[in-house]
A and B are shown apart, each in its own frame.
Chain A
Amino acid sequence: MIHRECGVLKTTYEADMALYPLPIAKYTVGALLVLFFGVVPLALDDYYLSILNLVAIAIVGALGLNILVGYTGQVSIGHGAFMSVGAYTAANFATRLDAPWPVNLLAGGLMAAAVGAVVGIPSLRIKGLYLAIATLAGQLIIEWTINHVTFISGGVQASIEVARPRIGSYVLSSHRSMYFFLLTFVVIAIVGTLNLVRSRIGRAFVAIRDRDIAAEIIGINIFRYKLLAFAISSFYAGVAGVLYTYFLGIANYEQFQIVVSIDYLAMIIIGGLGSVLGSIFGAIFITLLPIVIRIAMETFGGMLFEQQTVLNLIANLRLMLFGVLIIVFLIVEPEGLNRLWRNIRSYFRVWPFAY
């Protein structure tokens, strides 16, 4: 995933589809695993781990959306709503049935997948912006339903408190234990997506994205695969929603409003459509950038302005800078951070003989 030769030197399909394109990749993956499972949790304190936890949830959600938008080419503005479906399903399972977290997690994902498949039905007839609006309707309908049906939302406050997940008698409440919990699902999500996109299903998705009529002619069942894309994407969203619920200890409908859907779209567009690494980059970028900008402004702002002015400026300038940086990154590389990363890699591949 990180390493790739810059030239295409493969002679067999097996080599082209290999999960590890180069032998060194195995060592890199091993090193990354050691870094994130061993070094990071030991080296960082609670504050940084809590940020990583937010990033982890965003990665799972962004991967799901990228399967739908990036790989299958079906635009969706309903991702936040699918997350809420997962969150409320899990919360209801947890409080009404007292079910353990693996059951809730699976139930949340499956329920979201089912709802996602239904919302995806219009994709069979409409494409592009029209589909985006149809999924927007899905978002609003789901929001409204959760908001008004107290059977789902658990009362007019539309929030259900959920106990922390436990493994045996160990309760995962600290950020450190939550970090391992979430990281496990990030790894599963990444490996799952990588394998999905190089399978028959993944190739069908890409064929539909590139030209759905051509895909149909070569024998791909458009009906099945489009809905499957919606279902899989929503499954990821649902799982992300459940993880978010366990992270916060509460399912609350205001955490999954339309802004969230747009944030996720921004993540995959900035990170790179149709790439696993891009989803990860995008999730990191959108979550971390506001924090980095704020810390920068607090550090340097005091040199230029008075305290009271800084406070008002920080908040507003941060938004502007955030917007500007997104535009800059997109102008520098319209295909996203993933492409930027690949450019850097291929630059070093032939270094020092550039051009």
Chain B
Amino acid sequence: MKRTLAIVTALVLAAGSLLAGSVHAQSKGELVIGMQCDRTGATQIVGVALCPGIHDYIALVNSKGGVEGYRIKALEVDHEYKVPPAVESYERHKKEGAVSIMVYGTPQIYALTAKLTEDRIPGTSPGFGSAAAADGVKYPYIFPVAATYWSQAAAAVDLAKKQLGGALKGKKIAYIFFDNPAGREPIQVLEDIAEREGFQLRTFAVPPPGVEMGAQVLDIAQRFRADFVISHLFGAAPSVSIKELKRVGYPLRKVVGLVWASAEDNINGAGGFQVADGYFAMQFAGVGQDYPVLTEIKEMYKKQGKEPPKEMNSTVFYNRGVLIAALHVEAIRNAIKDKKGARPTGADVKNGFEKISNFTLGGLVPPLKITPQDHEGGGLVQIWQVKNGKFEKATEWFAAYQDIVAKHTRDHGKK
């Protein structure tokens, strides 16, 4: 009994001293960006490479003297892709005076939308979250800053059209998707495009956790005999889909994966780049290491006498981390410039985001044009193809069917 008591007392004391020790003094001239991360939860394959990308870019900015004299601090909190820890992390970021938040995860951005708006702190949801959040008037503090699922689906159809010889009339397109809200979101846009282009669209749902899709793939390849396949899967599911399509002999050069089905890990999980040869992967950030900013990061590490981190080799996710960090830094830069060097608030950084235009970071970031009305920035994507054992660029930045996407955004805004 005595021992139990001792343990309890020790734990209570330890907890108390920790809480007291955690209150950091904020140095002058430091701006905090709240950073949510998932290195341990459902989407950890993304987090372990994306988050180092964010930190490295911020370190690079700081090593060059910061932003207009301010140091940037990215305060990372891992939330395991759960909602309550995300709410807690947001409040912590707010307490530390964060001027913008890198939200991570679709349920998390939904849960924080009301709070971000009330507290006037901009939050980003690149490549996930609600497509309707592109409407800057209805959601003033939510910034998708990358192609939403609607724009991604539209771009995928455009790719199919070009691959199938410029016309889709009478063709058959299969849409295989993870059966959750994010997976179903693009269907309405796809249906509208199908009507305009005159192709036949059929949807194939893959129930969570998405590791069993033999029947759907067989259906696509042998019963429906699709001319093109758009795949919108997450986690381990993309790898499985590539394997299964390969197994039934469906040509992978007629398959395009949306942005969460398009990383090196997905290809490696399917058996490597040789197996997946021909597969199209949609990207909202540049792929590969051929960008000046990545060279600078490598040089920064070299100067410290260190090897560049191994996460850099997972270029799809790492580069997305760099893109997210770069857009936040750019928004903060715009905000400081606007205030002629004074300390920006969340609302100023929101205006800073809305001034981002043609900021490309040597090709890694698409030439977004974010405005107070359009928080998506144009819905630009690049398509890369698995070829010769690596990703090769198949298209430049482009967007398609933006009138249909805009119509859906408008309809949602009226609700």
Chain A positions near chain B (C-beta within 8 angstroms): 45-47, 50-51, 54, 58, 147, 153, 156-159, 161, 164, 173, 175, 248-250, 252-255, 259, 287, 290-292, 294-296, 298-299, 307-308, 311-312, 314-316, 318-319, 332-333, 340, 343-344, 347, 354
Contacts of A340 in B (CB 8 A): 4, 8
Shortest A237–chain B CB gap in Å is 16
- A341 CA / B55 CA spacing, docked (Å): 43
Is the CB of B402 closer than 8 A to any CB of chain A?
A: no
Shortest A117–chain B CB gap in Å is 27
Cβ-closest chain A residue relative to B9:
A344
Judging by beta carbons under 8 Å apart, are B4 and A319 in contact? no
- A294 CA / B2 CA spacing, docked (Å): 29
Is the CB of B342 closer than 8 A to any CB of chain A?
A: no
Shortest A96–chain B CB gap in Å is 12
Shortest B277–chain A CB gap in Å is 33
Judging by beta carbons under 8 Å apart, are B309 and A308 in contact? yes
Chain B positions near chain A (C-beta within 8 angstroms): 1-2, 4-5, 7-8, 14-15, 18-19, 21-22, 37, 39-40, 48, 51-52, 55, 76-78, 80, 82-85, 87-88, 91-92, 94-95, 106-107, 110-115, 118, 130, 132, 179-181, 184-185, 187-188, 309
Contacts of B94 in A (CB 8 A): 46-47
5 closest A-B pairs by CB: A249-B114, A254-B107, A315-B78, A50-B91, A315-B39
Between A and B, 19 residue pairs with Cβ closer than 8 Å are: A45-B95, A47-B91, A51-B88, A54-B88, A157-B185, A175-B91, A248-B87, A250-B110, A250-B111, A250-B114, A252-B111, A253-B181, A255-B111, A291-B85, A295-B22, A307-B55, A311-B76, A312-B39, A312-B48
Contacts of B110 in A (CB 8 A): 159, 248, 250, 252, 254
A299-B4 CB under 8 A given contacts A47-B91, A308-B52: no
Contact of A332 among B7, B88, B95, B187 (CB under 8 A): B7
Judging by beta carbons under 8 Å apart, are B4 and A156 in contact? no
Shortest A182–chain B CB gap in Å is 13
Contacts of A319 in B (CB 8 A): 40, 80
Contacts of B95 in A (CB 8 A): 45-47
A159-B181 CB under 8 A given contacts A295-B18, A312-B39, A340-B8: yes
- A248 CA / B90 CA spacing, docked (Å): 12
Contacts of B184 in A (CB 8 A): 156
New contact pairs (6) apart from A311-B76, A312-B39, A347-B5, CB-CB < 8 Å: A156-B184, A175-B91, A259-B82, A294-B77, A308-B309, A344-B4
Cβ-closest chain B residue relative to A307:
B55
A254-B88 CB under 8 A given contacts A248-B111, A298-B22: no
Judging by beta carbons under 8 Å apart, are B1 and A354 in contact? yes
Shortest A44–chain B CB gap in Å is 11
Cβ-closest chain B residue relative to A57:
B84
Cβ-closest chain A residue relative to B40:
A315
- A153 CA / B180 CA spacing, docked (Å): 12
Cβ-closest chain B residue relative to A259:
B82
Judging by beta carbons under 8 Å apart, are B5 and A290 in contact? no
Contact of B37 among A249, A296, A315 (CB under 8 A): A315
